Amino acid sequence: MIRWLREHQFKDYKPIEGLWLFKFTEALQAKLEELLKKNELDALSSEEADKLDSINELERFFTHLNARLIAPA
């Protein structure tokens, strides 16, 4: 899974209102949406389910990091 994330360049840094927040690349966001659609149809393979779990975990981590960056010190 880590190899798959590295190959898809899972991080993209761009300033948002002067802050450098963590954000998915367009490719990873598209993969997430694809997996979510397949999940709704109950059509995920076990490998795809693992990828979806990993992306969701990464999304939670990014959310946590961004909240800490935004919160006043």
Q: What mean pLDDT is predicted for residues 38-44?
A: 97
Listed by start position, the domains of the chain span 46-73
- DSSP sequence for the chain: -HHHHHHTT--EEEEETTEEEEE--HHHHHHHHHHHHHHHTT---HHHHHHHHHHHHHHHHHHHHHHHHHS--
**Predicted model pTM:** 0.74
Q: Is the pLDDT of residue 10 over 50?
A: no
What mean pLDDT, rounded, does the chain reach? Answer: 83
